[in-house]
Amino acid sequence: MPAKRIITAALPVVLFLCGSLRADTVNLKNGDKVEGKILSETDAEVTVRVQVTATIKDERVIKRGEIASIEKVQPDEAAWTAVANLAPGNDSLERDDYGRVTDALHNFVTTFPQSKHTAVARQRLDQFIADERRVAAGEVKLDGQWLTKEQVQEERVQVAGHILFNRMKRASAAGQLSDAMATFAQMEKTFPGAASYPDAVEFGRRILPLLKTAVEQRQAQMKRRLDDEKTRLAASKGAEHDQLDALIKMERTTTEAAIANLEKAGVKWLPLQPANEKSLSSLTSLVASETTRLNGLPADKMHESVKATEQAAAALARGNLDAAEKALKDATSAWSANELTKRLQAKLVEARKAASATKAATPTPTPPPPPTPKPKPASSSNTAAAAAPVPQDEGTPFYKKPIILIVLAAVVSFGVIGGKMLAKKRAAGESEPE
């Protein structure tokens, strides 16, 4: 899947464009106010287009004598209201969305060059254009940080899950609870192994009670609206009755067709607006079943798995392969769908192979030769002789060697001494009387 289409559905720019448009206000003498778009004015009356329901607009003609004052919204203010929320956020948009955003801001800048909002609009336009170039090059911005194309490709599942979780939170903050759960369903279907999935599960648990309350409120509103329509139809006559009846039926038909198209497209979470009895009943049933299901998911174990994968990644970075292997086993045991464990497992296998190859390529070192034994120290009586050994020349005849000469000299000396002693003994013997 190309990096530029990380997620299957484009970010709904309608979230930015759905700010309530500022309207002209006709203040009546009886204290009422009529808000809408002033279509025409004469000396006798003022014609205003008013919003009857979310999809029905009507024209109301007000006599001048009933009007206390008129407050008109300047054209640039009305136009700015429609684009005021178009500002770069912490996350980048889908590539296709940038065109719609930049077109809207460009139209405002060129149409109202003198507006007090033009400088801000132009600054935002330039920033969106710069961001669009980076997205076109394969980068993605998450939480204010830009990821390179290579990072996006490697972390595709994690990046996409993070984007969807952020979208889920934005929809919830805007009160679009059904849309938030629809985004969760998309994450669960396409990227259930993302590290942000357990966070999304817990967030969904918090949304569902709020959505249940919103559905109940919408059901009560629908009942009041139906009663009001019956009352208005009963009070109207002739052409006015026919026109109002046609508008009500048209709105009902349009809403039913929209809901039917969503169901045909396989949309799980139908919108709260537009809504009818069928969509609200569907939401009531779905909220109940999903509450039971999400409460049964082991989010705590998933969090443990995510933490273990972080420990495994750190151990791999340090080269501690045994610790990385143990952490990955713990992560997989806690949550087998964790996508990061699979990628880290592959990296661990490669690290093991690289370590084995390095060990095999390293030559066995040659043991050093045994040390030459040191001579034993000589005793004190033989120190002089040991300290000055007589060198021997193997080429000298043995009878000329110093040791032989010393021995011969000693023999001769002993012979001479012995001879003298023997001669004295004989002389002493001869001199004794008989």
Q: pLDDT tens track of the chain, all 434 residues?
A: 333 334 333 344 333 444 445 678 899 999 998 888 888 899 999 998 887 665 567 788 999 999 999 888 888 988 998 899 999 998 998 888 999 999 999 999 999 999 999 999 999 999 999 999 999 999 999 889 999 999 999 999 999 999 999 999 999 999 999 999 999 999 999 999 999 999 999 999 999 999 999 999 999 988 998 898 899 889 988 888 898 899 889 988 988 899 999 889 888 999 888 778 889 999 999 999 999 999 999 999 999 999 999 999 999 999 999 999 999 999 999 999 999 999 999 999 999 999 898 888 777 666 677 776 666 555 544 544 444 454 454 455 555 556 666 666 665 566 666 666 666 666 665 555 44
Around Cβ 49, how many Cβ atoms within 10 Å? 14
Give the pair of three-digit tokens for residue 22.
């500022």
- Name residue 105's amino acid: L
Question: Whole-model pTM?
Answer: 0.65
Closest CA to 197 of 154, 255, 249, 157: 157
DSSP 9-62: S---THHHHTSPPP-EEEEETTS-EEEEEEEEE-SSEEEEEEE-SSS-EEEEEE
Instruction: Give pLDDT, residue 323.
Output: 96
pLDDT at residue 361, rounded to an integer: 79
Q: What is the pLDDT of residue 139?
A: 95
- As given in the structure block, the two tokens for residue 188 are 């669960």
Phi, psi torsion values for 70, nearest 5 degrees: -130, 130
Residue at token pair 């911005």: 141
How is residue 220 written in tokens?
A: 């009560």
**Would you say 204 and 286 are in contact if contact means Cβ atoms under 8 Å apart?**
no
Distance in angstroms (rounded) separating the CA atoms of residues 307 and 301: 10
Distance CA 120, CA 99 (A): 18
CA distance 352 to 1: 30
Per-residue pLDDT at 72: 85
List phi, psi (to 5°) of 382: -110, 15
| Block residue for tokens 């054209």 | 75
Question: Are residues 48 and 230 in contact, defined by beta-carbon separation less than 8 angstroms?
Answer: no
Query: How crowded is residue 142: how many other Cβ atoms within 10 Å of its Cβ?
Result: 18
Output the DSSP codes for 297-340: S-HHHHHHHHHHHHHHHHHHHHT-HHHHHHHHHHHHHH-TT-HH
- Tokens representing residue 132 in the block: 């669009």
Maximum Cα–Cα distance for the chain, whole Å?
198
Amino acid occupying residue 66: E
**Residues near 91 by Cβ (< 8 Å), separated by ≥ 6?**
141, 142, 143, 163, 166
SS3 265: coil
pLDDT of amino acid 56:
64
Q: Identify the three-state secondary structure at position 158.
A: helix
pLDDT of residue 272: 86
Residues 6+ apart with CB under 8 A from 171: 15, 177, 179, 180, 183
